[in-house]
Amino acid sequence: MTLGDFGPRICVMGPSNSGKSTLAQAIARSRNLEPIHLDQLRHLPNTDWQLRPDEEFRKLHDTALLGERWIMDGNYSLLLPQRLRRATGIIQLDVPTTTSLFRYLRRSWFERERAGALEGRKDSVKWEMIHHIAMTTHKNRQRYRQMFDRIDLPKITLLSAREIEGFYHSEGLGDYKSIR
């Protein structure tokens, strides 16, 4: 399966810090799609990840879905049904927990610019996020795998940084190592 099979509206899902936003940005450039980072819609800019009110987030989310050509990264499973009704393809990243933890620490401490960051970036390491990545995400993996299996759209699962890198290479998305 190639990106050409996924159509003009692609969802990228996966655990926190698995590379969803970075992949979405690379695909957006390659396929001339509008990148929509759900974390940016869910959280207020110029904060350290303060949530928007639920109704405001829902309106931003549903408005973004009206576009004809987009790639949207993030989970937010409460709003997933609307997304899947409009999506033409889905990519699931299911990297190991250690990869997600490493990426979280690296992005919080060292990365100045990254895809999907909030405007006015104020990232800090949060124990709640470490717990979410290490415990909550781990418990949710089976549920997400089962849900993904039931989706009747062109789809692919990438299970490691190596598989993601291979996908970047096979789809001509640029050098994965220079942007991860």
What share of the chain in percent tops pLDDT 90? 61
Q: How confident is the model at residue 122 (pLDDT cuts 50, 70, 90)?
A: low
Residue 142 has pLDDT above 70, yes or no: yes
Rank 113-117, 127-131, 163-167 by mean pLDDT and report only the highest: 163-167
Q: How confident is the model at residue 179 (pLDDT cuts 50, 70, 90)?
A: very low
What does the pLDDT read at residue 177?
Answer: 60
Domains of the chain with bracketed CATH: 3-179 (3.40.50.300)
What does the pLDDT read at residue 180?
Answer: 44
Give the integer Cα–Cα distance in Å for 104 and 81: 28
Q: Which of 33-37, 107-111, 124-128, 154-158 has the lowest mean pLDDT?
A: 107-111
Neighbour count for residue 1 (Cβ, 10 Å): 10
CA proximity to 52, closest of 41, 64, 68, 66 = 41
Residue 111 has pLDDT above 80, yes or no: no
What does the pLDDT read at residue 178?
Answer: 47
Residue 121 has pLDDT above 70, yes or no: no
140/25: higher pLDDT: 25
Q: What is the pLDDT of residues 1-44, one digit of tens each?
A: 889 999 999 999 999 899 999 999 999 999 999 999 999 999 99
Rounded mean pLDDT, 78-99: 94
> Which residues, other chains included, contact 61 with Cβ-Cβ below 8 Å and sequence gap of 6+?
38, 41, 76, 79, 82, 83
Question: Residue 128: is it exposed, middle or buried by C-beta count within 10 angstroms (0-12/13-18/19+)?
Answer: exposed
Q: Measured on CA atoms in the order 31, 13, 147, 81, is the torsion positive or negative?
A: negative
